[in-house]
Chains A and B, each alone.
Chain A
Amino acid sequence: MNENLRADGIKLSLEMTLVTIRTSSGGLDPNARFLRLMGENRINLPFLCSAARDDTTVGTYCILTEDVTRANNVITSDKTVMTHIEYLPSVGTISVFPHNFNLAFFGMILRLMGELGAPLHGLATSISALCMVTDFSLLEQIAGYLARYVSLPGNHSPFNPDISIKSI
């Protein structure tokens, strides 16, 4: 077991759809419009990564599967967003915590994902967790593989949460 690979827990998300909006600058920003539409329609985005670099803005968002139909109905009514949007269904997040701002820890997790051939669709650190977006069907397999190399406490919480909170 590598000394850098200690964690308190691994958590898996529910099934989600990954939405990507790529756009060049000028005119209405479809990413801002998308955020407004989701907020107005009370649709949560559990994961978000947005980069406005040079003349290009790329926004990547996760929507819970149970909200996708509702989100679709809203999006298809808006031409600004509709013309820039791409969907990747059936993704999920795997969060490993705490990361302790440790670059070696992050590098090792990336390496393990690569060894497993698991796709990495997105990634973001929170104050405590390293959260990775990958294929939903692979979440359990990835968690099992990481658990072979990451030292977890004996009383760590289950990978799958037994409660979920939804803002209505």
Chain B
Amino acid sequence: METIAVYWEENIKTYGIRKETKLCLVQMDILPVCLVEQGQQLAELGQGETKVRLILAHHHEPGLLRLYMVFENRWQGALAEFFSRPDLQEVSGRFLLESPVEMLNFHGPHFGDRYGIADMACDALKKENIRFMLMGCSAASVHFIFPEKMAARAEKALGSVFKAP
């Protein structure tokens, strides 16, 4: 059975735009042959209280998976210490930690099934000359990572297109 519904809105409704500051970004490269070892490393790191706020990954260049993980800033010392362990250096790819960074995320009805959401968001940022470091969309979620002190401006820019309750 096919059901067709027409839906249009002047401002795209969201369930709210959430801003998080005082975050750090970890970037690491993974070779496909090292997925087991590096997965195990991350599992070990996660045995503590460390919670990850966002994970994104794609092939930065063919054959090299670049992983981006965002954590609260308070974990950066523990993260740097963990990834500097000599026994991990052998299987770990290049590790890079940046701090502080900021995040905006929002979710909306059927965002994963609707066209144009990412374009509207990027266009709103571009009009205000705001560059993001990372963007991720999956299911009904949209996430942006920005350099320090950019998220407030970005939130305002996105507010021109997206409506929070």
A109 at the interface (CB under 8 A from B): yes
B160 at the interface (CB under 8 A from A): no
Number of interface residues of A (CB under 8 A): 60
Majority DSSP secondary structure for residues of A touching B: mixed
Tell me if A121 and B47 are in contact (CB < 8 A): no
Name 13 extra pairs, CB < 8 A, besides A39-B116, A107-B40, A108-B43. Answer: A35-B119, A46-B112, A50-B135, A51-B134, A103-B42, A103-B43, A103-B46, A110-B38, A120-B35, A121-B58, A122-B59, A124-B136, A126-B138
Query: Are A47 and B46 CB-contacts (below 8 A) given A52-B131, A123-B57?
Result: no
The listed residue (A51, A56, A123) touching B55 by CB distance below 8 A is: A123
Query: Are A60 and B114 CB-contacts (below 8 A) given A49-B135, A129-B138, A131-B138?
Result: no
A125 at the interface (CB under 8 A from B): yes
Q: Report B57-100 residues with CB < 8 Å from chain A CB.
A: 57-61, 65-69
Closest 4 CB pairs between A and B? A114-B35, A103-B46, A107-B43, A110-B39
B149 at the interface (CB under 8 A from A): no
Tell me if B135 and A48 are in contact (CB < 8 A): yes
Complex Cα distance A32/B28, Å? 25
CB A30 to nearest CB in B, in angstroms, measures: 13
B53 at the interface (CB under 8 A from A): yes
Q: Which residues of A pack against B, CB within 8 Å?
A: 4, 20, 22, 32, 35-36, 38-53, 56, 58, 60, 93, 95, 101-115, 119-131, 164-168
Tell me if B139 and A111 are in contact (CB < 8 A): no
Q: Mark B122-137, 1 if CB is under 8 A from A, else 0.
A: 1100100001111111
Complex Cα distance A124/B134, Å? 11
Tell me if A124 and B55 are in contact (CB < 8 A): yes
Pick from B35, B37, B58, B69 the residue with the most CB of A within 10 Å: B58
Residues of B near A165 (CB, < 8 A) are 110, 113
Residues of A near B66 (CB, < 8 A) are 51
Query: Are A51 and B133 CB-contacts (below 8 A) given A110-B35, A113-B35?
Result: yes
Q: In the complex, what residue of chain A is closest to B65 when comparing beta carbons?
A: A120
Residues of A near B50 (CB, < 8 A) are 103
Complex Cα distance A62/B112, Å? 11
Tell me if B39 and A121 are in contact (CB < 8 A): no
Tell me if A120 and B57 are in contact (CB < 8 A): yes
Tell me if B119 and A36 are in contact (CB < 8 A): yes
Residues of A near B52 (CB, < 8 A) are 101-103, 106, 125
